[in-house]
Chains A and B, each alone.
Chain A
Amino acid sequence: MHRRTFLKTLASTGSLAALGSFPAPAISQGAAAKALRFVPQANLANFDPIWGTQYVVRNASALVWDTLYGVDDKLQPQRQMVEGEEVSSDGLTWTFKLRPGLKFHDGEPVLAKDVVASLTRWCARDSMGLMIKALQKELTAADDRTVKWVLSAPFPKMLFALGKNNTPMAFIMPERIAKTDPFQQITDYVGSGPMKFARSEWVPGAKAVFEKFGDYVPRNEPHSWLAGGKKMNLDRIEWVIMPDPATASAALQNGEIDWWETPIPDLVPVLKKNKNVQVDIADPLGNIGSFRLNHMHPPFNNVKVRRAVQMALSQEDYMRAVVGSDESLWKVIPGFFTPGTPLYTEEGGEPLKGKRDIEGAKKLLAEAGYSGQPVTCLVAQDQPPLKAMGEVTADLLKKIGMTVDFVATDWGTVGQRRASKNLPGQGGWGMFHTWHAGADCATPASYVAVRGTGEKAWFGWPESAPVEKEVAAWFGAKDLAEEKTIIGRLNKAAMEDVIYIPTGFYYGYQAWRSNVSGVVKGPLPFFWGVTKA
């Protein structure tokens, strides 16, 4: 009986093999040599950039799908798939015209109806998209290459919304795929971008392969982040998932891989010493670490308790634990916005500056009536920065006299549990750690984490009318000077209400072999313009 079922299983997998599910073994040596082997920051488990908002999914999707606009290295949206656009004088009607000759990977031309379907799906999941959808009167394909979007009120940041690099990006997919419910994963990966996804070679958790799409029509301008001509010099890119950083480091030194997205800082000195390896900062916009509190339940529903943690928290401890001893890699930030960007401000940031006040924190806790309720900390062990921050937090909370319920788990479970609005003792949570890419924290436009809309806000559900007032004001601001004033007030309000506590600003490295050139700094790894000797 069992032999038969076993053979049946083999037979059914055999038929799957016929459909191309087995990894293709026959790669000539030449092709393998021209392949760029890249180790991404995390596993590529599912591959729907609208459904799943992980950074790694977005990074892979940027290869497979194209967008109407793309931001350049100054975060200004530039035309990408669009040849030209028109805005009516009242700001209510947007007309976009597609470039000629754009094709999908299956040979079909990119038509306006594909754009309409893709944008509809994107709007359902993106914060700026939802704002546009709320104003939408119609979104139609005027002809095969023209898209018309009519709103009930002006939305000046339209181009930025369509070209931003924050997830989810407004990728353009074929209409039939874009019609998939936004809360379900797509299963077809036919794209509009410069690389095709080699589905038959995908081993989730181990390997993902991208191959050059010969019919992609790049723009003529030089490339700059997501803008300009995405000319691919590589025929084949292999993403090799390596969960063990020691193995990835050794593989890079040995030449078994070519580019590592996230080398851990402690291994960088060894990599720097190797003549065949180059190391540099990955993203000039850096990252902001986050101590995310649950405003909905005790103990953090009391603002005094939140402030107590805030005054005792040492960003230096966190940063050293996450990034190491090299101080050029991190900064203390008394604010919520990205250092080095126009809207950076330290207004109201006194609680995070200067000497930490443990005694003051203990007093404030007593004042707040804290009586030993445990803080349920969700700490992902499989992400090194989060694991490190979790340890520092456990120590911090104990120092100020709070009870810690340390839940060591994985990022997937954190992702699931943080959505729970239950009490901490019944499957809910008190705090968790995450980080935000600097690009996401440059303006309030896509900065969901700083919003105070209560039940509708990001996990933690902070409620802050002063913050929301400033956000609304910012969207209507006329110039940069006005924006800066508003942001200053926003920062102060967010600090006072302790929306979340930034644990510091830090840079990450990337490392690549010396025979690979064209690697640039950016908010995601850009493969166009990269060559391998």
Chain B
Amino acid sequence: MVATIPVMAIVALFVFSLLYIAPGDPAAVIAGEQASPEDVEKIRRNLGLDRPFVTRFGEWSWQILHGDLGTSMFTGLPVTTLIAQRLEPTLSLMMVTLILSVTIAVPMGVIAAWKAGTWIDRGLMAFAVFGFSVPVFVVGYVLAYIFALELDWLPVQGYTPLARGFGPWIENLILPSVALGCVYIALIARITRASMLEVLQQDYIRTARSKGMGQRGILFVHALKNAAVPIVTVIGIGIALLIGGAVVTESVFAIPGLGRLTVDAILRRDYPVIQGVVLLFSFVYVLVNLAVDLLYTVLDPRIRY
């Protein structure tokens, strides 16, 4: 757990260096098209671009630790404000996708393991591999076309804040969550099945069966609990996929979230925003994996740190 600190430091160093590795002159970008060289120099001094790397990294890190992520070059707003504005939609999308995916994928994997070798198993796993293989935006467009345009059951795009009611909020999130969740469901279902298969072959399962325990009891009480470690691992690692996929999903469904903010910032080379968001995402990812590690100790008492 202490290891997270150096990891974050490395991420911070990499993220900070972006401004230096990048081609082009950020001061010229801010100054605009009709600026004179003196104006560009003035701006360069304002941004502190003429001071040495180490000093600036030190200052920047100090700022970050105090919660100041800098100011966006294009909008002049603080990066923390921009992130705060976009946090709710992305968090909502991730949460709904996570719950939806786990709820669908884990039973899928369990059933596939239970009926291993049959057509049900093959069918479910084929479905899962398919989920891996079709790009997120294609799924998104197809879903939007069928359910929003043709059938008109759900809205095509947009995001409604939770404050305006649970119904509208969830309505806007269903299609994007399903689109985003496809890959996640595939991943979790496969690992669930594999892990369950291994556990089902263990001796203690045979003992439970011979003791007369019902199938469902065995599956959920004994097997799943023991199979949980790899499943939880992959749920944790899969968050990275979700974050990556959110970028595309938010674009297709016009959700004003962090993913779109990041893509816009990257395409515009708005470095403070890029730095802030990448730092944030990495931090969240590290936290999630930390939580997963902690969950291990609950699930499997043999694992201890």
Residues of A at the B interface (CB closer than 8 Å) are: 1-2, 5-6, 8-9, 11-13, 16-17, 21-23, 25-27, 43, 45-46, 51-53, 125, 183, 185, 187, 203-207, 240, 242-244, 246-248, 250-251, 253-254, 256, 382, 410, 412-413, 415-419, 427, 459
Given the known interface contacts A13-B80, A22-B85, the answer about A416 and B75 at a Cβ–Cβ threshold of 8 Å is no
Contact B149 A25 (CB under 8 A): no
Residue on B with the closest CB to A45?
B74
With a cutoff of 8 Å between Cβ atoms, the chain A residues found around residue B149 in the complex are 250, 253-254
B78 CB → nearest A CB, Å: 7
Are A427 and B23 touching (Cβ within 8 A)? yes
| Residue from A2, A8, A51, A52 in contact with B66 in the complex, judged by beta carbons closer than 8 Å | A8
A416 CB contacts on chain B under 8 angstroms:
24, 28-29
If A187-B76, A250-B144 touch, does A2 touch B4 (CB 8 Å cutoff)? yes
The chain B residue sitting closest to A418, CB to CB, is B33
| CB-defined contacts of A187 to chain B, threshold 8 Å | 76
**A25/B161 contact (C-beta < 8 A), A1-B5, A5-B67 known:** yes
- Does B77 touch A at the CB level, under 8 Å? yes
List the B residue with the shortest CB-CB distance to A201.
B85
Q: Which residues of A are found within 8 Å of B66, using beta-carbon distances? A: 8, 12
Which one of B31, B80, B86, B269 lies within 8 Å of A16 (CB-CB)? B80
How far, in whole Å, are A27 and B283 apart by their CA atoms in the complex? 33
Contacts of A45 in B (CB 8 A): 74-75, 268
Contact A9 B254 (CB under 8 A): no
Contact with A along B73-94 (1 / 0, CB 8 A): 0111110111111100000000
Instruction: Assess whether B226 is interfacial by the CB under 8 Å rule.
Output: no
Closest 9 A-B residue pairs measured CB to CB? A206-B256, A25-B163, A9-B67, A12-B67, A250-B156, A412-B268, A204-B75, A410-B267, A13-B84
A250 with B157, Cβ < 8 A, contacts A25-B164, A243-B251, A412-B269 known: yes
CB distance from A31 to the nearest CB of B (A): 12
Question: Roughly how many angstroms separate A11 CA and B65 CA in the complex, as a whole number?
Answer: 13
Q: Out of B81, B256, B287, which one reaches A13, CB within 8 Å?
A: B81
Beyond A251-B254, A256-B156, A419-B28, 20 additional pairs, beta carbon < 8 A: A2-B283, A8-B67, A12-B66, A23-B85, A53-B33, A185-B76, A187-B76, A203-B86, A205-B256, A206-B86, A243-B254, A243-B260, A250-B157, A254-B149, A254-B152, A254-B155, A254-B156, A412-B74, A413-B269, A419-B33
Cβ–Cβ < 8 Å partners of A9 in chain B: 67, 69, 80
Contacting pair B74 A247 (CB below 8 A): no
Given contacts A21-B84, A187-B76, A254-B155, contact A244 B39 (CB under 8 A): no
Q: Which residues of A contact B83 (CB under 8 A)?
A: 13
Residues from chain A with a CB closer than 8 A to the CB of B156 are 247, 250-251, 254, 256
Given known A8-B67, A183-B35, contact A251–B158 (CB-CB < 8 A):
yes
Return the chain B residue nearest A253 by Cβ: B149
Chain B residues with CB under 8 Å of A246's CB are 141
Which partner residue on chain A sits nearest B74 by CB separation?
A45
Residues A247 and B35 in contact in the complex (CB < 8 Å), given A205-B261, A382-B267, A427-B24:
no
Q: Which residue of B28, B81, B84, B157 contacts A242 across the interface (Cβ within 8 Å)?
A: B157
Interface residues on chain B, number (Cβ under 8 Å):
57
User: Does B247 lie at the interface of the complex (its beta carbon under 8 Å from any beta carbon of A)?
Assistant: no
Q: Which residues of A contact B68 (CB under 8 A)?
A: 12
A242 pairs with B141, CB closer than 8 A: no
In the complex, A17 Cα to B81 Cα: how many Å? 8
How would residues 281 to 299 of chain B score, 1 for a CB under 8 Å from any chain A CB and 0 otherwise? Answer: 0010001000000000000
Instruction: Give Cα A250 to B75, complex, Å.
Output: 29
Q: Which chain A residues lie closer than 8 Å to B82 at the CB level?
A: 204
In the assembled complex, the Cα of A22 lies from the Cα of B253 at a distance in Å of 22
CB distance from A180 to the nearest CB of B (A): 11
Say yes or no: is B34 at the interface (Cβ < 8 Å to chain A).
yes
A–B complex contacts, Cβ < 8 Å, 6 sampled: A2-B8, A13-B67, A16-B78, A183-B32, A183-B39, A412-B267
Q: How far is the CB of B155 from chain A (nearest CB, A)?
A: 6
In the complex, the answer to whether B157 meets A247 with C-beta atoms within 8 Å is yes
Q: Which interface residue of A1, A5, A9, A43 has the most chain B CB atoms within 10 A? A: A9
Please name all residues of chain A whose beta carbon is closer than 8 Å to the beta carbon of B269 when the two chains form the complex: 412-413
Contact call A46/B76, Cβ cutoff below 8 A: yes
Closest chain A CB from B10 CB (angstroms): 14
Contact B85 A12 (CB under 8 A): no
Are the C-beta atoms of B161 and A23 separated by less than 8 Å? yes
Docked CA distance A46–B73 (Å): 10
Among residues of A, the one whose C-beta sits closest to the C-beta of B155 is A256
How near does chain A come to B72, taking the closest CB pair, in angstroms?
8
Whether B4 and A51, one on each chain, are in contact in the complex, defined by CB atoms closer than 8 angstroms, is no
Task: Report the separation of the CA atoms of residues A8 and B24 in the bound assembly, to the nearest whole angstrom.
Answer: 34
CB-CB under 8 A from A242, the residues of chain B are 157, 254
A25 to B162, CA, bound (A): 9
CA distance in complex: A187, B77 (Å): 9
Q: Is the beta-carbon distance between A415 and B33 smaller than 8 angstroms?
A: yes
CA distance A42 to B65 in the complex (A): 35
Shortest CB-to-CB span from A201 to chain B, Å, is 9
- Kindly state whether residue B252 has any CB partner on chain A within 8 Å: yes
Kindly provide the distance from the CB of B167 to the nearest chain A CB, expressed in whole angstroms.
Answer: 13
A204–B23 touching, CB < 8 Å: no
How far is B72's CA from A200's CA once the two chains are assembled, in angstroms? Answer: 17
- Tell me, rounded to whole Å, the shortest Cβ–Cβ distance linking A276 to chain B: 13
Bound complex: CA A187 to CA B64 (Å): 23
Query: Is B198 at the interface (CB under 8 A from chain A)?
Result: no
Whether B300 sits at the interface, judged by CB under 8 Å, is no
List B contacts of A52 (CB < 8 A). Answer: 32
Check B254–A244 contact: CB distance below 8 A.
yes
Bound CA–CA A409/B254 (angstroms): 22
- Kindly list chain B residues whose C-beta atoms are within 8 Å of the C-beta of A17: 84
Interface residues in B13-49 (C-beta closer than 8 Å to A):
23-24, 28-29, 31-35, 39
Q: Is the CB of B76 within 8 A of A125?
A: no
In the complex, the chain A residue whose C-beta lies closest to that of B72 is A204
